[in-house]
Amino acid sequence: MCGICGKLSFDLGATVDGGLVRGMLDTIRHRGPDDEGLYLGGQVALGHRRLSIIDLGGGHQPLSNEDGTVWIVFNGEIYNYRELRAFLLTKGHVFKTNSDTETIVHLYEEFGPQCLDKLRGMFAFAIWDEKKKTLFLARDRVGIKPLYYCLADKGLVFASEIKAILADPEVDRRLAPELVDRFLTFLYLPGEDTLFKGIAKLAPGHYLLAKNGEVEVRQYWDLQFAKAAGSRRLEDAKDELLSLLAETVQLHMIADVPVGVLLSGGVDSTAMLSFAVEGTDKEVSSYTVGFSDPGVADERPYAKLAAEAFGSRHHEMSMSAADFAAFMPQYVWHMEEPVCEPPAIALYYVSKLARNYVKVLLSGEGGDEAFAGYGNYRNLLWLERVKRGLSVSTGTVARGLSLANSVFQSARVAKYGPLMNSRFPDYYFSRTSNPYRYAGNGLAQLYSTDFARSIDREHTLEPVRRLQARVRSENTLDAMLYIDTKTWLPDDLLVKADKMTMANSLELRVPLLDHKVLEFAAALPSSLKVHGCTTKYLAKKALERRVPKRILDRPKTGFPVPYEAWLRKDLRGWVRDILLDKRTTNRGYFDAGRMEGLLSSSETHGGNFKEIFSLVTLELWHRAFA
User: What does the pLDDT look like over 493-522, one tens digit per residue?
Assistant: 999 999 999 999 999 999 999 999 999 999
- How far apart CA 401 and CA 407 sit, in angstroms, is 10
Least confident range from 223-232, 343-352, 455-464: namely: 223-232
Average pLDDT over residues 117-138: 98
Average pLDDT over residues 419-434: 80
Average pLDDT over residues 242-269: 95
225 CB-near residues (< 8 Å, 6+ apart)? 474, 475, 478, 481, 482, 522, 523
239 CB-near residues (< 8 Å, 6+ apart)? none
Average pLDDT over residues 110-126: 98
Query: For 16, phi and psi rounded to 5 degrees?
Result: -75, 135
Q: Among 166, 183, 161, which Cα is nearest to 619's?
A: 183
Average pLDDT over residues 586-615: 94
pLDDT at 432 (0 to 100): 64
Catalytic residue among 2, 5, 150, 340: 2
Average pLDDT over residues 397-412: 52
444 CB-near residues (< 8 Å, 6+ apart)? 181, 184, 452, 455
Give percent above pLDDT 90 in the chain.
81
Over 90: is that where the pLDDT of 560 sits?
Answer: no
Q: Among 44, 23, 13, which Cα is nearest to 169's?
A: 23
Identity of the residue numbered 603: E
Over 80: is that where the pLDDT of 380 sits?
Answer: yes
Over 50: is that where the pLDDT of 245 sits?
Answer: yes
Neighbouring CB atoms inside 10 A of 251's CB total: 22
**Residue 207 · residue 126 · CB < 8 Å:** no
Please report which residue ranges of 503-586 form alpha helices under DSSP H: 515-522, 537-543, 549-552, 563-568, 572-579, 582-585
Q: Among 483, 447, 446, 489, which Cα is nearest to 468's?
A: 483
**Residue 398 · residue 540 · CB < 8 Å:** no
- How far apart CA 488 and CA 494 sit, in angstroms, is 9
Average pLDDT over residues 600-605: 92
Over 50: is that where the pLDDT of 430 sits?
Answer: yes
Q: Which residues of 455-464 are buried (b: 16+ CB within 10 A; e: fewer)?
A: beeeebbebb
Over 60: is that where the pLDDT of 434 sits?
Answer: no
Average pLDDT over residues 149-174: 95
**Residue 154 · residue 11 · CB < 8 Å:** yes
Q: How confident is the model at residue 351 (pLDDT cuts 50, 70, 90)?
A: very high
pLDDT at 411 (0 to 100): 57
Give span(s): CATH 3.40.50.620, the chain: 234-367+486-552
Over 60: is that where the pLDDT of 26 sits?
Answer: yes
Q: Among 446, 459, 449, which Cα is nearest to 190's?
A: 459
DSSP letter, residue 193: B
Least confident range from 58-67, 192-201, 464-473, 551-560: namely: 551-560
**Residue 149 · residue 523 · CB < 8 Å:** no
Q: What is the 3-state secondary structure (H, E, C) of 282-309?
A: CCCEEEEEECCCCCCCCCHHHHHHHHHH
3-state secondary structure of 545: coil
Q: How far is CA 597 from CA 364, 450, 580, 582, in A?
A: 40, 19, 11, 16
pLDDT at 179 (0 to 100): 95
- How far apart CA 475 and CA 477 sit, in angstroms, is 6
Q: Among 445, 447, 444, 440, which Cα is nearest to 590's?
A: 447
DSSP letter, residue 421: G
Query: What is the CATH topology of the domain spanning 234-367+486-552?
Result: Rossmann fold (3.40.50)
pLDDT at 431 (0 to 100): 77
Tallying the residues shown for the chain, one arrives at 626
Q: In CATH, which of 3.60.20.10, 1.10.3720.10, 3.40.630.10, 3.40.50.300 is domain 2-176+197-219? A: 3.60.20.10
3-state secondary structure of 156: strand
pLDDT at 408 (0 to 100): 42
**Residue 555 · residue 373 · CB < 8 Å:** no
Average pLDDT over residues 220-230: 81
Q: Among 169, 192, 166, which Cα is nearest to 179's?
A: 192
Least confident range from 242-251, 361-370, 410-419, 591-600: namely: 410-419
328 CB-near residues (< 8 Å, 6+ apart)? 345, 616, 617, 620
pLDDT at 392 (0 to 100): 46
Task: Please give the angle made by the CA atoms of 232, 269 and 376, to the nearest 5 degrees.
Answer: 60
Q: What is the pLDDT of residues 282-317, one digit of tens each?
A: 899 999 998 877 767 788 999 999 999 999 999 999
**Residue 530 · residue 372 · CB < 8 Å:** yes
Give span(s): CATH 3.60.20.10, the chain: 2-176+197-219
Task: Please give the order of strands across the beta sheet that includes 259-262.
Answer: 313-318, 285-290, 259-262, 360-362, 507-509
Q: Among 68, 72, 60, which Cα is nearest to 32's?
A: 60
**Residue 405 · residue 417 · CB < 8 Å:** yes
- How far apart CA 456 and CA 246 sit, in angstroms, is 48
- Mean pLDDT (the chain) is 92
Please report which residue ranges of 112-230 form alpha helices under DSSP H: 162-166, 180-186
54 CB-near residues (< 8 Å, 6+ apart)? 77, 81, 98, 99, 100, 254, 255, 256
150 catalytically annotated: no
Q: How confident is the model at residue 49 (pLDDT cuts 50, 70, 90)?
A: very high
- How far apart CA 482 and CA 471 sit, in angstroms, is 8
pTM over 0.85: yes
Over 50: is that where the pLDDT of 407 sits?
Answer: no
Over 90: is that where the pLDDT of 547 sits?
Answer: yes
- Backbone CA torsion sign across 270, 276, 279, 284: negative
Least confident range from 146-150, 279-283, 450-454: namely: 279-283
Q: How far is CA 141 from CA 76, 148, 204, 516, 525, in A?
A: 12, 15, 5, 11, 22
Q: Among 520, 539, 510, 502, which Cα is nearest to 79's?
A: 510
3-state secondary structure of 400: helix
